[in-house]
Amino acid sequence: MILSGSVLLVWSAGGKNVFLYDRGDKIVKHYTKDLNLEKKYINKSLFENNKFVNLTYDDYSNLLYILFENFKVVVLETNRFNRVIEFEYNLNDFDINEKPKDILFSENSSNIYYLITDKRIYKYFTNTNNRLIGKWNLINNLKIGRAS
């Protein structure tokens, strides 16, 4: 396996699939559990015009979510890497300097996911993609105690 730059690896549940973002080549790669390259998602324009943040695999729907710094998300089906949808979050929901960090899927409901930023956790339904249904402030809810 030859990689041109730093990478981000995502393992699917059960370890059947491995998804990797190669920061050097700006390509998403799909490997089997035995680390054999299966396919690549190449979209030079997308990755050059949007700064990559993270990718997350949804085991319920077999979809790969690619998150960018400008709060854009591209969703791919993983069988052939066809684009299912592309959407952007409403920037009015975020602070000016807030930065997206990750997308996490609920372990209890196949229709709920969370967008994690450096300041908050936002809750969404997967079937409405970017319509906000709840949020929690990370800073306000942390209580830090001192050891005696």
Instruction: For residue 116, give the 3-state DSSP assignment.
Output: strand
Residue pair 80/121 in contact (Cβ under 8 Å)? The answer is: no
Q: Provide the pLDDT for residue 140.
A: 59
Q: Average per-residue pLDDT in the chain?
A: 86
Confidence of residue 16 (pLDDT cuts 50, 70, 90): confident
Residues 99-103 have a mean pLDDT of: 95
Residue-wise pLDDT for 78-90, tens only, equals 989 999 999 999 9
Instruction: Tell whether pTM > 0.95.
Output: no
Rounded Cα distance between 48 and 40, Å, is 16
Paired residues of 74 in beta bridges? 66, 86
Name the percent of the chain lying above pLDDT 90: 59
Residue-wise pLDDT for 21-35, tens only, equals 998 899 999 988 888
